[in-house]
């Protein structure tokens, strides 16, 4: 067996981490790294061959003898490869420990689990925060614009490097779910099963609008310097924090916000008649913004949101979604949440209808919860039960039994 183990503003506080720490993670991450030389370029949709480049990744568990138990987890917009281990920058637990870990649906004693930082990210995979070997300076906006298909092509190169021909499953939510669907469209013969959660086959106009709001907040920050903030020894933390605050609102539902905060005051009984954070929900959003800038690069935020905006599987197949999955043998499980207005159930149903039209094996679950889009990251028992049952059923069909398959 192959044993591969993981390893300032008055309203928005300045980040506590120094920019040099972020830069270290961008090029020398606390992760495993796969490097690809000038002779192994990543062919991007924009027409550029990216080389050299690298992919940072984490693994959990062991690859079995016939290499049939590998699961690729695709992370969401603000995620990274540290899905089930302590984050090297923030010191916090992995972002999907509800799903990944001993006794969880994705159990490392049964599966070999891989999670890589996407191309364009800022936690070790080549992106705008990385050093451009041609100039010796940070790429910044000289980095080519990337797409979801580009991310998946890079992941396929990583999977090749690991010597894995077919993935038992590809799993992801939100932007990660988009990558799951792109994997099945681009490499159907390499994906035995796919768990696509809280996602769609293309970004809606409303979602594009929210992303543009976030990008404009970043670019309006005087410390952004046209994307050259590293050269200026600054960081547009105010603009990035505002972008995160706006985005975070879309991840929640009105009911969840009301239950958690209502109109309760923050550490006071009466309003201050100022623009301080009088309400708990204001304080919460400011905390989300300030903590986010500790670990994320502003330019990466621009690139990854743009990649999501460009995503459109039907558009890549003559406007007919079913054509993308024609003749596919992959087993699908599509999951949506009733209170997710960012990726509503109607979009999941459209995907399911297209898969049905392609005669694909597909199961679909709409889970009733008031936790909004973020429900896939939380301890929602029904979601965890469905994920476990789907993977166990697919594993039985593939002949995976007992520890490490």
Of 193, 340, 348, 374, catalytic:
340
Asked about 340 being catalytic, the answer comes back as yes
H/E stretch holding 116: strand 112-116
Three-class SS of residue 94?
A: coil
CA-wise closest residue to 300 among 164, 127, 131, 174 = 127
Of 174, 200, 290, 348, catalytic:
174
Q: CA-CA distance, 364 to 354, in Å (whole number)?
A: 12
Measured in residues, the chain has a length of: 405
H/E stretch holding 382: helix 381-398
**Dihedral (CA of 91, 93, 96, 100) sign:** positive
Contacts 24+ apart (CB under 8 A), 260-263: 260/284
Of 339, 348, 373, 387, catalytic:
373
Looking up tokens 């932007």 gives: 175
Asked about 379 being catalytic, the answer comes back as no
Q: Give how far Cα 42 sits from Cα of 30, 133, 377, Å.
A: 23, 15, 31
Residue 225: partners with Cβ closer than 8 Å, 6 or more residues away: 231, 232, 234
Asked about 174 being catalytic, the answer comes back as yes
Q: What's the CA angle centered on 226, arms 223 and 231, to 5 degrees?
A: 65
Q: Give how far Cα 141 sits from Cα of 38, 73, 96, Å.
A: 21, 28, 31
User: Which token pair is 124?
Assistant: 């070790």
Looking up tokens 């302590």 gives: 86
Residue 307: partners with Cβ closer than 8 Å, 6 or more residues away: 120, 145, 146, 147, 148, 150, 151, 175
Catalytic residues: 174, 340, 373
């Amino acid at each position: 067996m192959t044993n591969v183990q993981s390893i300032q503003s008055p309203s928005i506080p300045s980040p506590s981490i120094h920019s040099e720490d972020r830069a270290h993670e961008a090029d020398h991450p606390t992760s495993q790294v796969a490097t690809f030389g000038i002779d192994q370029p990543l062919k991007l949709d924009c027409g550029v061959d990216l080389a050299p480049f690298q992919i940072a990744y984490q693994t959990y568990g062991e690859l079995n003898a016939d290499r049939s138990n590998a699961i690729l987890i695709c992370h969401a917009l603000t995620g990274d490869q540290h899905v089930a281990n302590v984050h090297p920058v923030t010191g916090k637990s992995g972002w999907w420990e509800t799903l990944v870990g001993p006794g969880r649906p994705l159990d490392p004693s049964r599966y070999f689990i891989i999670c890589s930082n996407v191309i364009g990210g800022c936690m070790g995979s080549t992106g705008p925060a990385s050093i451009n070997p041609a100039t010796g300076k940070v790429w910044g906006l000289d980095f080519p614009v990337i797409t979801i298909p580009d991310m998946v092509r890079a992941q396929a190169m990583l999977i090749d490097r690991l010597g894995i021909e077919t993935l038992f499953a590809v799993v992801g939510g939100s932007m990660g779910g988009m990558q799951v669907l792109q994997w099945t469209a681009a490499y159907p013969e390499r994906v035995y099963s796919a768990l696509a959660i809280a996602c769609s086959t293309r970004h809606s106009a409303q979602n594009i609008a929210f992303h543009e709001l976030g990008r404009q907040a970043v670019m309006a920050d005087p410390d952004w310097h046209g994307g050259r903030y590293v050269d200026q020894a600054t960081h547009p933390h105010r603009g990035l924090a505002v972008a995160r605050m706006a985005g975070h609102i879309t991840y929640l539902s009105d009911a969840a916000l009301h239950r958690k905060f209502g109109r309760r005051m923050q550490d006071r009984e009466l309003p201050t008649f100022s623009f301080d954070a009088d309400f708990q929900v204001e304080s919460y959003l400011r905390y989300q913004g300030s903590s986010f800038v500790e670990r994320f690069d502003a330019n990466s935020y621009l690139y990854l949101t743009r990649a999501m905006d460009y995503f459109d599987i039907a558009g890549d197949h003559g406007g007919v979604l079913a054509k993308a999955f024609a003749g596919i043998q992959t087993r699908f499980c599509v999951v949506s949440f009733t209170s997710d207005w960012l990726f509503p159930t109607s979009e999941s149903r459209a995907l399911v209808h297209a898969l049905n039209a392609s005669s694909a094996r597909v199961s679909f679950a709409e889970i009733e919860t008031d936790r909004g889009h973020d429900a896939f990251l939380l301890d929602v028992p029904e979601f965890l039960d469905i994920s476990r049952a789907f993977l166990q059923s697919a594993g039985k069909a593939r002949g995976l039994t007992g520890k490490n398959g």
